[in-house]
A = this chain, B = another copy of it.
Amino acid sequence: MFYFDPKLQYDVRVDVPDPRFARLLQQAIGGVEGELRVCLQYLFQAFGARGPARYRQMLLSTGTEEMGHIEMLATAVALNLEGAPGDLQDEAAQANPVVAAVMGGMDPRQYLSAGMAALAADANGVPFSGAHVYASGNLAADMYANVTAEATGRALACRLYELTDDPGMKDMLRFLIARDTMHQQQWLAVIEELGGQTGTLPIPNSFPVEEERREVSYDYVFTGMPGVEPPTGRFTAGPSLDGLGTFRLVPAEARGAQPNLAPPLPQAYAQAQQLPGEETIR
């Protein structure tokens, strides 16, 4: 279960409110790279964790930290929506700063739906979706999903950093970027604990590899048209990363037949012309 401290994990300060930046921050709250996603992803992985108990604890801890990041960002949104927007100080804005801000690029729903506060949505107002919560039951797959979330999350935070000159916002982002630095490596450290690439690949490593069609397990299949030069690299030659095979470069070819589906069932209510004996069309 969970507890709260009404203080923030790190200070959130906005020197000059900017409603347009409040819109952009939404991506870090409810976007696919955002904190709602990582918070729920780590917590759901913890809630369903089977195997070494240590990982449940580790996941719970970081998921709980991320909830505090949602709080920081939502606070940042609310503060950016206060007062007259900094760089919209024209005549219209002086007359009615809310009109100016809504008409000038802020997320209109931060005003219309939330009365000047954050939404559980991304920078385009698309609501957060639970479909982005990865908790596969496979520890290695989940660790890579977490690295992905933190890598795209840190790229997002760096890009937001580029879009603001506000010292308070820049300071908050510096903190969040640093936490993403840690979290990327935290999940990769688990991969290392599990034995690195030879210890974990192919994922899941509990499926007996002799059941798969081994003769294509290390082939880089090139689907370029005849005459197109295939790329080569670490993935076309040398030992495979799981230590179990050798990469090869192989041109694509159809090994299967052309599919031949049965005619429609009567109950499927295709057109009569699709039924057998009606092929006289043309």
The reply to whether A65 and B223 form a contact with Cβ atoms under 8 Å apart is yes
| Cβ-based interface call for A169 (8 A) | no
Query: 1/0 per residue A5-42: CB within 8 Å of B?
Result: 11111111000000010011001001111001000100
Q: Can you report 5 A-B residue pairs in the complex whose CB atoms are below 8 A from each other?
A: A4-B228, A11-B255, A49-B261, A82-B262, A190-B235
Contacts of A195 in B (CB 8 A): 273, 281
Give the docked Cα–Cα distance between A152 and B103 (Å): 21
- With both chains docked as a complex, state the minimum distance between the C-beta of A208 and any C-beta of chain B, in angstroms: 10
- Please state the number of chain copies in the assembly: 6
**Complex A-B, nearest 5 residue pairs according to Cβ-Cβ distance, in ascending order:** A115-B137, A48-B117, A124-B125, A51-B274, A8-B256
- Please tell me if the beta carbons of A178 and B82 are within 8 angstroms of each other in the complex: no
Flag A212-224 by CB within 8 Å of B: 1 or 0 each. 1111111111111
List the B side residues contacting A121 at CB < 8 Å. 124, 130-131
> In the complex, how many angstroms separate the beta carbon of A209 from the nearest chain B beta carbon?
8
Q: Are A134 and B118 in contact (CB under 8 A)?
A: no
| A89 at the B interface (CB under 8 A) | no
A269 and B159 in contact (CB under 8 A), knowing A61-B223, A118-B48, A129-B128?
yes
By a CB distance below 8 angstroms, the chain B residues around A138 are: 115, 151-152, 155, 269-271, 274
A241 within 8 A of B: yes
Shortest beta-carbon distance from A164 to chain B in Å: 9
**Within 8 Å CB of A7, what residues of B?**
1, 254, 256-258
Question: Out of B119, B256, B264, which one reaches A11, CB within 8 Å?
Answer: B256
User: A33 to B50, alpha carbons, bound, how many Å?
Assistant: 21
Within 8 Å CB of A218, what residues of B? Answer: 181-182, 185
Given known pairs A4-B224, A151-B140, A241-B185, the reply for A175 and B57 (CB within 8 Å) is: no
Q: Which residues of B contact A273 (CB under 8 A)?
A: 51-52, 139, 194-195, 199
CB-nearest residue of chain B to A184: B202
Contact present for A102 and B5 (CB under 8 Å)? no
